[in-house]
Amino acid sequence: MTDKNIEIGGLNTERLSSIVSRIEHLEEEKKGIQDDIKDIYAEAKGAGFDVKALKHVIKQRKKSQAERDEEDAIFTTYEHAVGL
């Protein structure tokens, strides 16, 4: 074993360091992407779009038609039950 590739408590420290570094790098990339998304929402708001509605549409597009239909049926049932 080299000095970099030692085991402490059964853990390969070089491999652990590599994993931690990769996660940290991806977290930095994620932060950048989140900032980009925030900028796009600000652009949309500046163009007169309703950001809450836009986020809803994006969330709904991730679901299948069957999931959306089931959700709509539940909402309709609950709304009727409370008199909406």
> Is residue 1 predicted with pLDDT exceeding 60?
no
Give the 3-state secondary structure of residue 8. strand
Same domain, 45 and 72: no
Same domain, 10 and 41: yes
Assess whether 55 and 45 both reside in one domain.
no
Picking from 9-13, 30-34, 58-62, 65-69, which range would have the lowest pLDDT averaged per residue? 9-13
Q: Are 38 and 75 part of one and the same domain?
A: no
For residue 51, the one-letter residue type is V
Same domain, 29 and 39: yes
Domain with 17, as residue range(s), is 1-49
Which residues face 8 on adjacent strands? 11
* Pair (44, 63) in one structural domain: no
More confident residue, 13 or 51: 51
Tell which residue, 37, 61, 63, has the closest CA to residue 51: 37
Q: In this structure, are residues 60 and 70 in contact, taking their beta carbons and an 8 Å threshold?
A: no
Number of independent structural domains in the chain: 2
Q: Are residues 35 and 64 in the same domain?
A: no
Q: Is the model's pLDDT at 4 over the cut of 70?
A: no
In this prediction, residue 63 has a pLDDT band, given cuts at 50, 70 and 90, of: very high
